[in-house]
Amino acid sequence: MKKLLVANRGEIAIRVMRTAKNMGIKTVAVFSEVDRNAPHVKFADQAVCIGPAPSNASYLLGQKIIDVSKALNVDAIHPGYGFLSENADFAELCEAHNIIFIGPRSKAIRVMGSKLAAKETVKAYNIPMVPGTDEAITDISEAQHIAKSIGFPILIKASAGGGGKGMRIVKHESEFKSQMDRAISEATNAFGDGSVFIEKYVASPRHIEIQIMADSHGNVLHLFERECSIQRRHQKVVEEAPSSALTPALREEMGQAAINVARSCDYIGAGTVEFLLDENLNFYFLEMNTRLQVEHPVTEWIAGVDLVALQIQVAKGEKLNITQDQLKINGHALELRVYAEDPMNDFLPSVGTLDVYKLPEGKNIRVDNGFEEGMDIPIYYDPMLSKLITYGKTREEAIELMIEAIDNYHIKGVETTLPFGRFVCEHDAFRSGTFDTHFVKTHYAPNLLEKQQQIEANIAAKLALKHYLAEQNILRVPD
C-alpha cells in the first residue's frame, strides 16, 4: 500500500493521514468547495475537489471518489466515520475496482447496517438481547398488539438507521399510534426506509460499547469497553474508557460477546459492538458499528495501540501482531466532543466564525482537531470542531486534567460544548460514576450552567481584586 485516499473531512481525515504518513504511505484528500482551505486539505500530499458544499454533491459521491482514486493510482480508501463509512454499496464499488476498502467486507456492513438483520445473525451465538420484535413492522395495529404483549414502556426504533432518528419512547398505550406514525415518517425521511421494530424500553440504561479488531486469518480481539452514556438527543458528547460500572468478570463476558458478534458476520477490521447495561448489570446487544468510532482515542490510550495502524495492517492482509493476553488496561482516558453547539439553547448548532481558536497543550492532553482560527463553521456538515482527550493513571486524574484542558481551550465567535463538558466533569453523579443515559434530562438545565459560570466569574473577579490589592501593598523601592 503506497497511496491512501481519505474519503472524509475534518479531524478524522487528519487523524487517519497522520498514521498513514507515519507508515510511509502517501495521502490524498478529497474536499468540497467550501472546504477548499480546510486543514485536512493542506495536510495531505495531494488534494482534489469533488464538488459543491452539500455532502450529497461531494463527500457522498462514491463513484466520483473511485474515479479520483483510479486517476491518482490510489491503492486504498479509508472512509473515516459518517459519510460512506457504512455504505455497503461503496465498499462493493471499491472491491469491483480493486481498491482496498479499509473496513469490513460489504456483506458484514450490509448485515450489521440493519438492526433486525444483525439480531437475526447473532442469534446462534446466544448474545443477550432486549425482548422485542424479530422483524420489521409497518402495520400499526399489529405493532400495537405486539407492544401490549411486550409491556409498556417500549421503544420504537428505525431498522435502517441510527443517531436517534426514527426513535420514540412510548410510555403509555394511548400514545402508541401517534408515536408510531412519527417514527415511521422520520425513518422514511432520514433513511428512505420506514420499517421500524419494537423492543422493551430499558429504564435506566448505560451505553457500553466494546472495541473489536479482526484480521483475515481468523483472529478477533476485544480492546475493552468505552462508557458513552453522557448523551444529548441520543448522541454522545462525553466518553471514557474503561467504564466505572464494569467488574473484571463482566468486562470479559461482554468482550467475548462482542467477539462472537464479530464472528457471526465474518468481520474484518475495526468495529464496535454496542450494548445496553441495566441497573442490575444485565447487558443486551444493541447494534454493531462497522467502522472506526469517533471516540476511538480513549481506547488507544488505555490499550496502548494505534487503531488506524491496525486497520491498515489488517486491510493489507497481515495478521494482527498482538494477542488478547497481551492487551491490558493501563490508566483512564476521557473524551469531550467539542461541538459548535449552544448548550444554553438546547444544543442547537452555533454558526459563525472562529475569531479566536486556541487549543490546550500539555502532557496527557490530546486534541484531534479539524479547524483553524479565522475559519467559518460550515452549515452543511456535523458541527464537531474537535475532540479533546485527556489521560490519567486514575479516573479522577483524567477528570481533573479534562477540566484544566477545557479552561485552556479558548474559542470566540461561536458557542461550544466546552462549558457543558466542564459541567459534566464537576457533577457529583458523573464523578461518583452513578449516572446513565438520562444524565442530561435528570441533571442538566441551562440555568444550572449559567449559575455555574456566574459563580466561576465571581471567584475569578475576587482573585483578581485580591491580587491587585496585594500588588498595591508591596513597597516599591526606587532604582
pLDDT digits (tens, 9 = 90+) for 380-429: 999 999 999 999 999 999 999 999 999 999 999 999 999 999 999 999 99
pLDDT digits (tens, 9 = 90+) for 104-139: 999 999 999 988 889 889 988 999 998 888 788 878
For position 384, what pLDDT does the model report? 96
The DSSP code for 478 is: P
**Does residue 164 register a pLDDT over 80?**
no
Q: Is residue 477 part of a domain?
A: no
CATH of the domain at 343: 3.30.470.20
Q: Is residue 120 part of a domain?
A: no
Q: Is residue 389 part of a domain?
A: yes
Quick one: 271 and 356 in the same domain? yes
Quick one: 246 and 319 in the same domain? yes
What's the whole-number average pLDDT of the chain?
Answer: 93
Section 435-443 average pLDDT: 95
For position 455, what pLDDT does the model report? 62
For position 132, what pLDDT does the model report? 85
Q: Which long-range contacts (CB under 8 A, 24 or more apart) does 59-65 make?
A: 59/7, 59/8, 59/9, 59/30, 59/32, 59/83, 59/84, 60/84, 62/87, 62/89, 62/90, 62/93, 63/93, 65/5, 65/7, 65/30, 65/90
Quick one: 336 and 436 in the same domain? yes
pLDDT digits (tens, 9 = 90+) for 197-212: 898 898 889 999 999 9
Quick one: 417 and 402 in the same domain? yes
Quick one: 375 and 241 in the same domain? yes
* Model confidence band, residue 464 (pLDDT cutoffs 50, 70, 90): low
The DSSP H or E segment spanning 249 is helix 248-264
- Residue 344's closest CA among 406, 425, 408, 416? 416
**What is the distance between the alpha carbons of residues 20 and 29, in angstroms, rounded to a whole number?**
12
Of 164, 182, 200, which marks where a domain is finished? 200
What does 309-376 look like in DSSP terms, one character per residue? Answer: HHHHHHHTTPPPS--GGG----SEEEEEEEESEETTTTTEE--SB-SEEE---STTEEEEE---TT-B
**What is the distance between the alpha carbons of residues 167 and 179, in angstroms, rounded to a whole number?**
9
CATH of the domain at 135: 3.30.1490.20
Of 200, 233, 261, which marks where a domain is finished? 200
Quick one: 90 and 158 in the same domain? no
Per the structure, the count of domains in the chain is: 3
Quick one: 398 and 338 in the same domain? yes
Quick one: 277 and 334 in the same domain? yes
For position 51, what pLDDT does the model report? 98
What residues are paired with 369 via a beta bridge?
A: 386
* Model confidence band, residue 447 (pLDDT cutoffs 50, 70, 90): confident
Q: Which of 168, 251, 291, 395 is catalytic?
A: 291
Quick one: 281 and 337 in the same domain? yes
Quick one: 38 and 135 in the same domain? no
Q: Identify the residue with better confidence: 162 or 232.
A: 232
> Residue 164: is it exposed, middle or buried by C-beta count within 10 angstroms (0-12/13-18/19+)?
middle
The DSSP H or E segment spanning 151 is none
Q: Is residue 262 part of a domain?
A: yes
Q: Is residue 116 part of a domain?
A: no
User: Where in the sequence is the domain holding 22, given as residue range(s)?
Assistant: 3-102
**Does residue 268 register a pLDDT over 60?**
yes
Quick one: 194 and 214 in the same domain? no
Quick one: 136 and 238 in the same domain? no
Q: Is residue 362 part of a domain?
A: yes
For position 439, what pLDDT does the model report? 96
**What is the distance between the alpha carbons of residues 156 and 176, in angstroms, rounded to a whole number?**
9
Q: Is residue 461 part of a domain?
A: no
- Residue 422's closest CA among 293, 237, 234? 237
User: Residue 298 in 3-state DSSP?
Assistant: helix
182 an active-site residue? Answer: no
Q: Is residue 109 part of a domain?
A: no
CATH of the domain at 56: 3.40.50.20
User: Residue 212 in 3-state DSSP?
Assistant: strand
What sign results for the dihedral spanned by CA atoms 100, 105, 109, 110?
positive
Whether 31 contacts 38, CB under 8 Å: yes
Q: How far, in whole angstroms, is CA 59 from its chain's centroid? A: 19
For position 366, what pLDDT does the model report? 98
Q: Which long-range contacts (CB under 8 A, 24 or more apart) does 99-102 make?
A: 99/66, 99/69, 99/70, 99/74, 99/75, 100/1, 100/75, 100/76, 100/315, 100/316, 101/76, 101/77, 101/315, 102/4, 102/76, 102/77, 102/78, 102/269, 102/311, 102/312, 102/315
Global confidence as pTM: 0.88
